[in-house]
Chain A
Amino acid sequence: MTKVTRRSFVTTVGVASVASAAALRTTPTPAAIGGVPAASGGAAATAKISSGATPVYLFFNADEARFIEAACERFIPADELGPGALLAAVPNYLDKQLGGAWGAGERLYRSGPWASGTATQGYQLPFTPAELFHTSLRAIIHDLDARQTPFHAMSADNQDAYLRSLEAGAHDLDGVPSSVFFDALLQMTVEGFFSDPVYGGNRDMVAWRMIGFPGAYADYFEAVDRHGVKFQREPMSLAEDSKGHILLKDIPAKL
Chain B
Amino acid sequence: MAQRLQEVDVVVIGVGMVGSMVAKELAAAGYRVVGLERGQTRFTVPEFQSPAMHDELRFAVHKAMMQDNTREPVTFRNQSSQVALPLRRWESFLPGTGLGGSMVHWNGQTWRFQASDFQLATHVRERYGKNLLDADLTIQDWGVTYADLEPHYDRFEYLLGTSGKAGNIKGQIQAGGDPHQSPRSRDYPTPPQKELFQGTLFREAAAGLGCNPFPQPSSNMSQPYTNPEGMKLNTCVFCGFCERFGCEHFAKSTPQTVILPVLLANPNFELRTGCQVQRINLDSTKKHATGVTYVDAVGREFEQPAALIVTSMFALNNVRMLLLSGIGTPYDPNTGQGVVGRNYSYQTVSSVDAFFDDDVVVNPFMASGASGTVINDFAADNFDHSGLGFIGGGYVGAVNSHGRPIQFHPVPPGTANWGKGWKQAVVKHYNHTVKISVHGSSMSQRQNYLDLDPTYRDAWGQPLLRMTFDFPQNDLKMSAYVTAKAVEIGKAMGAKQVAGYPRKGPYTTQQYQSTHNTGGTVMGENPKTSVVNRYLQCWDVPNVFVIGASNYPQNASWNPTGTLGALTYWAIDAIKSKYLKNGGHLVAA
Contact = CB atoms under 8 A, between A and B. Distances in A.
A147 interface: no
Contacts of B87: 109, 121-122
A207 interface: yes
Interface stretch (B77-85, B289-297, B527-535, B552-560): B77-85
Contact of A110 (B54, B76, B82, B88): B88
Given A220-B239, A247-B249, A109 B73 contact: yes
Interface string B337-362: 00000000000000000000000110
B427 A81 contact: yes
Contacts of B510: 119-120, 122
Interface string A182-212: 0000100111001110010000000110111
Contacts of A228: 197, 360-361
Contacts of B172: none
Contact of B237 (A109, A216, A219, A249): A219
**5 shortest interchain CB distances as A-B pairs:** A216-B54, A220-B366, A227-B197, A195-B57, A194-B405
A255 interface: yes
Given A220-B363, A242-B51, 13 more contacts: A75-B419, A76-B418, A107-B62, A109-B73, A117-B83, A213-B365, A220-B239, A223-B363, A224-B196, A227-B197, A245-B50, A253-B45, A254-B45
A185 to B, nearest CB: 10
Interface in B228-284: 234-240, 248-250, 256, 260-261, 264
Nearest to A111: B456
Q: How large is the interface on B (under 10, 10 to 19, 20 to 34, 35 or more residues)?
A: 35 or more
A225 B363 CA distance: 11
A102 B45 CA distance: 27
B490 interface: no
Contacts of A255: 43-45, 256, 260-261, 264
B423 interface: yes
Contacts of B45: 251-255
B403 A213 contact: yes
Contact of A115 (B83, B249, B431): B83
Given A109-B73, A120-B509, A120-B510, A81 B238 contact: no
B312 to A, nearest CB: 21
A35 interface: no
A210 B425 CA distance: 12
Interface string B62-73: 110000111001
Interface residues of A, number: 75
A121 B77 contact: yes
A194 B43 contact: no
26 contacts: A37-B427, A74-B419, A76-B422, A76-B423, A77-B419, A106-B70, A108-B88, A109-B70, A113-B455, A115-B83, A115-B85, A123-B88, A190-B409, A194-B406, A212-B431, A213-B430, A218-B50, A220-B237, A220-B239, A221-B238, A228-B360, A229-B361, A231-B365, A238-B52, A238-B55, A249-B234
B506 interface: yes
Contacts of A214: 365
A79 interface: yes
Given A221-B237, A224-B194, A255-B261, A81 B423 contact: yes
Contacts of A223: 363, 366
Given A196-B55, A214-B365, A77 B509 contact: no
Contacts of A163: 418
B433 to A, nearest CB: 11
Given A75-B419, A191-B406, A221 B235 contact: yes
A204 B201 CA distance: 34
Interface string B365-406: 110000000000000000000000000000000000001111
A118 interface: yes
A207 B56 CA distance: 14
A72 B510 CA distance: 23
A193 B266 CA distance: 48
A143 to B, nearest CB: 21
Nearest to A255: B261
B508 interface: yes
B62 to A, nearest CB: 7
A1 B155 CA distance: 67
Contacts of B235: 221, 248
Contact of A244 (B51, B240, B420, B456): B51
A253 B49 CA distance: 11
